[in-house]
Amino acid sequence: MKKMEGLFLVLMAISLVLSGCNRTRGDDSSGSSLLQTMAFNEAILVGNPQGHPADPFLATSGAGEVFVSWTEESSGEEGRDGFIAKVKGGGKQLAEIRQMNQEPISGHGGENLAKFALAPDGGVAAIWSAVSHVHHAGTLRAVYGEGSGPFTPEETLNDDQGVTNHGFTGIATGPDGRIYASWLDGRNDEEAAEVFMAVSEDGGKSFGKNFQISTFACPCCRPTIEFLDGGETMIVAHRRFATSSGYIVSDNVRNHQLIRSTDGGKTFSDPVLISDDGWVTYGCPHAGIALDVDSQDMIHAVWWTGGRTPDEAGIYYTYSEDGGRSFAPRQLIVQAPHDTVLHTHITVDTNDTLYASWINIEENRPQIFLAHRSAVTEQWSPIHRVSDGAWNTVYPVVTVDEENLYVAWTERKGEDSQVRLRTAPLVGN
């Protein structure tokens, strides 16, 4: 697959759509929550600047502790090292920094970055792609770390032991403590990826047999896992590939779809279309969809699409009130370039306020933007630019604890890179 290029080609005007989808919840006609601007703290640097940090990932434990992971260049070796730390002081400092890997991690990063999930007992399960000399091919590796202790040696997660196209992962901890890992897998066809899954019954210490959960997957757009009904229902979303062959054709529409499981991943429903964007591309997008679920089991999704025409390109939002069986018509949050791949992330706080973050182009540079939306209104807040504009910024990730929103991203300038983390009090705090 040929990776899409041209990240810095277009500057588009940002427009905010203030009217949105119909919702059945109460309507806050005053819209007072939208008047609240977010007061972001100064960003901190994550990791050792000499190691050119990149590819952060954030997660919040069941106890409300926030963790951040990232990678740095391996000294004297090919590939990178992976680190994880607890975020303290409302995002002002890092503590208990630990190295997760013993063998080098793939330097591809980006949509294929290393990820982790937090077990109920405080353990950490992390997965990533191993170093490979073939683009986006190789084995998946899994490690486990207890509490603040060292991590176990890496184990191969893909049980075919092959080195062909295993990567672009999703990982999540279910309410019952099981940890689910999913990824795009080419073991049955090097060009036509399928979505595979493995389950850990012991909080991430080991994973069971691999099994296929979906076919016709775009081979470079990460799957996303979430849970509903107290864990009784699991949902997995991924970008669909239009053909079974894996070869790009003129009608290769790249829509996102969702599948559901009510038996712990043993069986999955037929896929449901999240949005009919009609976007056709001849490259490999590297742009998955972001999901989160609120306290009422409403599914929220945000993504970028190139659209059927350049005028349709943008960052979009939709929701499902019936457990992923159907989705509301998409809502445009902001227009964006059609020929530049952009990325999104979303999180929901305990008051069911949504925080969506994305990349857009401003002053010829990719920058990180964010907007929030109350559970009782159809309107998005004014858009905040989170990054300072000095570097090219990519791949935002967001999470929340009881008091703060956390946003992390990678910044690049030439061959250099760094990771920044910034926080803001939650809306209403």
| pLDDT per position as a tens digit, 400-427 | 999 999 999 999 999 999 999 999 999 9
User: pLDDT class for 165, splitting at 50, 70, 90?
Assistant: confident
What is the share, in percent, of the chain residues with pLDDT greater than 70? 88
Model's pTM, two decimal places? 0.90
What is the average per-residue pLDDT within 372-388?
90
Question: Average pLDDT of the chain?
Answer: 88
Among the listed residues 421, 375, 371, the one whose alpha carbon sits nearest the alpha carbon of residue 397: 421
Report pLDDT digits (tens) over 276-332.
999 988 777 899 999 999 999 999 999 999 999 999 999 999 999 999 999 999 999
- Give the type of residue at 164: T
Residue 242 has what pLDDT? 64
Contact (Cβ atoms closer than 8 angstroms) between residue 96 and residue 148: yes
Residue 19 has what pLDDT? 29
Report pLDDT digits (tens) over 201-249.
999 999 999 999 999 898 889 999 999 999 999 999 999 886 655 555 5
Residue with tokens 């999470």: 399
d(CA 338, CA 10): 9
| Residue 350, number of CB atoms within 10 A of its CB | 12
Residue 30 has what pLDDT? 36
The correct CATH number of 32-425 out of 3.50.50.60, 1.10.260.40, 1.10.3210.10, 2.120.10.10 is 2.120.10.10
Report pLDDT digits (tens) over 40-55.
999 999 999 999 999 9
Give the DSSP letter of residue 155.
E
d(CA 34, CA 114): 35
| Higher pLDDT among residues 343 and 12, named by residue | 343
Residue ranges covered by each domain of the chain: 32-425
Q: What is each CA distance from 78 to 72, 105, 108, 321, in whole angstroms?
A: 11, 9, 12, 47
User: pLDDT class for 350, splitting at 50, 70, 90?
Assistant: very high
Among the listed residues 180, 196, 367, 395, the one whose alpha carbon sits nearest the alpha carbon of residue 286: 395
Q: What is each CA distance from 258 to 255, 266, 361, in whole angstroms?
A: 10, 16, 29
| Higher pLDDT among residues 388 and 5, named by residue | 388
| Residue 222, number of CB atoms within 10 A of its CB | 26
d(CA 290, CA 303): 6
| Higher pLDDT among residues 366 and 36, named by residue | 366
Report pLDDT digits (tens) over 168-194.
999 999 999 999 999 999 888 877 789
d(CA 287, CA 216): 16
Q: Is the pLDDT of residue 20 over 70?
A: no
